[in-house]
Structure 1
Amino acid sequence: MTQYEANFDGLVGPTHNYAGLSFGNVASLNNASSSSSPKQAAKQGLKKMKALADLGMIQGVLAPQERPDIHSLRRLGFNGSDAQVLEAAAKHAPAIFQASCSASSMWTANAATVSPSADTHDGKIHFTPANLTSKYHRSLEPEVTGRILQATFSDPEYFCHHKHLPENDHFGDEGAANHTRLCASYGDTGLEVFVYGKQAFDLSQSAPKKYPARQTLEASQAVARLHGLKDENVVYIQQNPELIDQGVFHNDVISVGNQNALFYHELAFNHSDNALQQIRKKFKGKELHFICVKESDVSVQDAINSYLFNTQIITLPSGDMAIIAPTNCQENPTVESYLSKLVSQDTPIKQVKYFDVKQSMQNGGGPACLRLRVAMNEHELAAVNPHTLINDQQFKVLNSWVEKHYRDELKIADLSDPQLLVESRTALDELTQILDLGSVYPFQQI
C-alpha cells in the first residue's frame, strides 16, 4: 500500500501582526510593533505550499483562527457591541487586547501532536490539539483548532480526535514543535520522539532559568497514552535547558527528523549521549543517520538567527531527502556554507531549497513552524477533506481570496478598528465554504 507524509500548512490570518507576544522567542520580541503585511505573508505561505505540491508532495492547508477574539474578550468582562468591546479592551487592557488579536495559529507545528496509524493501538491516525498554556495568546486556540482538524480529518473509520490536555502549566503541551518521528518508511511502525523542557511534578530536575520551558514531560507522556503508543516505540528526551535560555523555545528550533535521519545541533539535548543511545536502541529500521551539527561549524546563535533547524526535511518522490529552508539560511554565510557541504556528504539529504517566508520569520516562525505533518496511507488520504488539499485550482482560489480580503499593511493601532473585525469575519466565512469546513468559528455559531 502506498504511504505518504502530508504537510498541512497554516494559512496566515487577516490580522497577521507583530505584537511581540512570545517571551522566549527572540525574533518575535525583536520585531515587536513593526508594521506587517498580511497579504504578503499569506501569499508567501501559499507559494511555499504550491511549490511543495509541485515537487510531488501531498500538501494541505489549515484555516486560521478568528481574530480579534471577541468571544474571549467577552469572557474577560468586556461588554457591549463588538465595536465597544474592541474599544474598551484596547483602551483599558492593551496587552490582553493585542494577545486576543494574535495570528500565531499560522504555525501549525503547534496545532497538535499526530501519531500515524502504524504506531497506534487501534490502527487509526490520532490527533491531540496542543493546549499551548505557556502563552495566553496561543492558549486561545485549542478549541477551534480541534474543530478545524475534525473538519479536515472527519472520517471516524480512519481518524481519532482527542480533546486537548488540561489547561495547566503542569501539562503544558506545544504539539509537534516538540515531537518528531523516525521510521524506515512512513508506513512502518515508527519511533516517536517527544522532547520536553521540564518535569512539572519533579522540581529537583534541571530546567531553564531565564525563559519558560513550554513542554512538560508529563504532557508528552499523556499524549503517548492517549494515542495508544507502546513503550518500545517512544523515547522521551529533555531539551538542553541552557539553550532554552538562549532562545530555543521549541525543539524544532534546534533539531528536526525525517524517516531515518535526525538533524540536530550537538547542544540540542540534555545528556545527549544517553538520549541518542535510547533512539539508536529503539529504532527499528536498518540504518539510522545522526546528522550532528557542531558548535564549531554553526553556533547556536547562528542556528537561531537563520532557523537552520526550523527547516523541513522532506522525502522527494525520487527517494532523496531535501531541506526546505528559509532564505535567511541562504543569507547567513556560515549556515549557507554548511548546507552546501551537507548535500555532498554521506547522508540522505541531497538538496536544499530556499523559500522566502520572511513575514513569518520576523514574527518568530520558519518553514517547520508553518506545517503539521501527517503520515498516512492511500485509504487514509482518500478520506481527507479534499477541499483542504493544495492543487493548481485550489491555489488559484486561495490566492484570489487573499487578494480580495487581506490588507497590504497592518499596524498595531489598526487592530482595534471595528472594520478589520468585519473584514476578517467576512473572509473567514467565505474560507469555510472554500475549504468545506462547516461552522468552525464562534461567530458562525451565534
Structure 2
Amino acid sequence: MQHFEVNFDGLVGPTHNYAGLSFGNVASLSNAKSASSPKSAAKQGLQKMKALQEIGLVQGVLAPQERPDIYALRRLGFSGSDQVVLEKAAKEAPAIFRACCSASSMWTANAATVSPSADTRNGKVHFTPANLTNKFHRSLEPETSGRILRAMFANERFFEHHQHLPDNEHFGDEGAANHTRFCSDYGNAGVELFVYGRHAFDSSKPAPQIYPARQTFEASQAIARLHGLADDNAVFLQQNPAVIDQGVFHNDVIAVGNQNVLFYHEQAFLNEAPAFAELEAKLGQPMHFIKVPSAAVSVEDAVRTYLFNTQLVTLKPGHMVIIAPTECEEHAGVKAYLEQLVQSNTPIKEVRYFDVKQSMRNGGGPACLRLRVALNDQELEAVNPNVILTDHLFARLNQWVDKHYRDELAVRDLIDPNLLDESRTALDELTQILNLGSVYPFQRNAL
C-alpha cells in the first residue's frame, strides 16, 4: 500500500483584500487598507500548487469562502437589499463591515486539524474545522469550511468529520497552524504535536501579556480526544509567551516539522526539553531537532521573512526541501542561514523560493496556504477527484480566475454590490468545477 502527504492549498478568493484585521499579526497590520490584486494573489497560489505537483507531490485545492459575508451582517441587524446592507454596514460600522469582508480563509492551515488513519483508534482520517474564536472575522469560517471538507472527503468508510469546538475563547482552536505530525513514514503510526499558547482554565500558568494566545491547551486536548488519539500518539507543548508578544501569533510562524525533522527558532517554545524527549520516545526513533539561534536569525527577521512559515516536504527518503517565500531569499542573513543549513548533516537538502507576496502582505506565507493530509492509496482514491490538481484543472482554474477576478481591489470597492454578484457567480462556477455541491450560504437559500 502506498502512502502520501497531500497538500491542499487554499484558493485565494475573488474579494482578496487587505483589511488589516489581525491584532498580533505584524504583516497584516502593516499592510492594512492597501490595494490588493485578487487576480495576482490567486495566480501566485496556483503557481505554487503547480510547482509542487511538478516535483512529484500530490496537490489539492480547497475552495475559498464567500465574502463579503452578507449573512453575518444580517445577523448583526443590517437589513434591506444586499446593496443597502453593504452601504449601511460600511457607513455605520466600518470595522465590522471590513471584518465581514475578510480574505483570511485563503490560509488553509487554519481550516482544520487533521489526524491520519494510522494514528486514530477507528482507523479513519479525522477532520475538525477550527473555530477561530479569537478573531471575529475568522470565526465566520468554520461552518462553510466544514461543508467544503465534507464535500472533498465524503466517503464515510475512510473519513470522519467533527463539528468545530464550542465557540468560546476557552476552547480557542486555530487548526493545523498549531499542530504538526511526526512519523518515520506517512503510512506508519505517528506522534502529533499540539502547540498551545495558554491554559484557559488556569490563569496561574504562563501566558502572553501583549498579544492574545489564540490556541488553548484545553482545545488541543479536545481535538486529540475527538480524533481518538491514544496517549502514545499525542504530545502537548506550550508556545513561548514572550515570542507570541513579538508577533508570533501561530506556531507555524516560528516552527515547521515533517517526518523526523523539527525546524524551529530557539525562542519558539516554553521548556521544550521534556516534550522533545517525550516526542522522541513515543516516535521510537531519533529526531532531527534543528534549532535556529537568535544570533543567526532574530525573531523579528523570522517574522518579517516567514522563515518558519515554510513548507518542509519530502521528495525521497532522506531528502527534504524547504518551500520558502522569496522574502527569505531577499534577506541576506536568512538566505545565508538557509545556504548553510542545506550543507549540514540533516535531511533538509534544498531550498526553493516562491513568490507569494500577495499572501505575505496579508500576513501568511507558504505554510499558511496549505492543509496537510496524510493518506494511503485507498483513501486518496476516495477523495473527491475534482479537487486534486492536474494539468487540466490548473489550466481550468487559471481561466476561471481570468474570467472572474479583478486586477486591483481597494477596501472601498468592497461596498460595490457588483463585486458581491461577481463573487457569487465565480464561486457558483467553482463549485461545479470542483464538484462540491451547494456549500455556500447563497446556494443554500440562507437569505
Q: With structure 1 as the length reference, what TM-score do the two structures score?
A: 0.99
Residues of 2 paired with 1:102 and 1:15: CA distance? 8
Aligned to 1:420: 419
Residues of 2 paired with 1:315 and 1:187: CA distance? 14
Deviation at 1:392, TM superposition (A): 0.5
Deviation at 1:138, TM superposition (A): 0.3
Deviation at 1:232, TM superposition (A): 1.6
Matched, 1:118 2:112: no
Deviation at 1:287, TM superposition (A): 3.0
Aligned to 2:134: 134
Residues of 1 paired with 2:192 and 2:272: CA distance? 17
- 5 Å matches for 1:198-347? 198-284=198-284, 286-317=285-316, 319-347=318-346
Matched, 1:396 2:382: no
- 5 Å matches for 1:329-408? 329-408=328-407
Deviation digits for residues 28-56 of structure 1, max 9, x if unmatched? Answer: 00000100000000000000000000011
Q: Secondary structure at the match of 1:316?
A: strand
Q: Which amino acid aligns with 2:230?
A: K
Q: Which runs of 5+ in 2 are unaligned?
A: none
Aligned to 1:430: 429
Residues of 2 paired with 1:242 and 1:304: CA distance? 14
What root-mean-square deviation, in Å, do the aligned CA atoms of Structure 1 and Structure 2 show? 0.7
Aligned to 2:146: 146
Residues of 1 paired with 2:424 and 2:332: CA distance? 43
Equivalent residues of 1:307, 1:328 under 8 A apart? yes
- 5 Å matches for 1:23-62? 23-62=23-62
Aligned residues: 445
Matched, 1:86 2:86: yes
Deviation at 1:279, TM superposition (A): 1.8
Matched, 1:178 2:178: yes
Equivalent residues of 1:280, 1:288 under 8 A apart? yes
Deviation at 1:196, TM superposition (A): 0.1
Equivalent residues of 1:325, 1:352 under 8 A apart? yes
Equivalent residues of 2:208, 2:245 under 8 A apart? yes
Q: Which amino acid aligns with 2:350?
A: Q
Equivalent residues of 2:100, 2:137 under 8 A apart? yes
Residues of 1 paired with 2:81 and 2:318: CA distance? 56
Residues of 1 paired with 2:114 and 2:87: CA distance? 39
Q: Secondary structure at the match of 1:309?
A: coil
Equivalent residues of 1:197, 1:240 under 8 A apart? yes
Matched, 1:167 2:140: no
Deviation at 1:146, TM superposition (A): 0.1
Q: Which runs of 5+ in 1 are unaligned?
A: none
Residues of 1 paired with 2:272 and 2:372: CA distance? 25
Q: Which amino acid aligns with 2:76?
A: L
Q: Which amino acid aligns with 1:167?
A: D
Deviation at 1:281, TM superposition (A): 2.4
Q: Which amino acid aligns with 2:408?
A: E
Aligned identity (percent) is 69
Deviation at 1:288, TM superposition (A): 1.3
Residues of 2 paired with 1:149 and 1:332: CA distance? 37
Residues of 1 paired with 2:280 and 2:205: CA distance? 24
Q: Secondary structure at the match of 2:206?
A: coil
Deviation digits for residues 315-336 of structure 1, max 9, x if unmatched? Answer: 0146510000000000011100
Aligned to 2:102: 102
Equivalent residues of 1:56, 1:317 under 8 A apart? no
Q: Which amino acid aligns with 1:386?
A: P
Deviation digits for residues 224-256 of structure 1, max 9, x if unmatched? Answer: 000000112110000000000000000000001
Deviation digits for residues 168-195 of structure 1, max 9, x if unmatched? Answer: 0000000000000010000011000000
Equivalent residues of 1:269, 1:275 under 8 A apart? no
Equivalent residues of 2:280, 2:286 under 8 A apart? no
Deviation at 1:111, TM superposition (A): 0.2
Residues of 2 paired with 1:414 and 1:436: CA distance? 30
Moved more, 126-135 or 227-236: 227-236
Residues of 1 paired with 2:415 and 2:424: CA distance? 14
Q: Which amino acid aligns with 1:117?
A: S
Residues of 1 paired with 2:164 and 2:337: CA distance? 39
Runs of 4+ in 1 over 6 A off after TM superposition: none
Residues of 2 paired with 1:293 and 1:60: CA distance? 31
Residues of 2 paired with 1:38 and 1:112: CA distance? 24
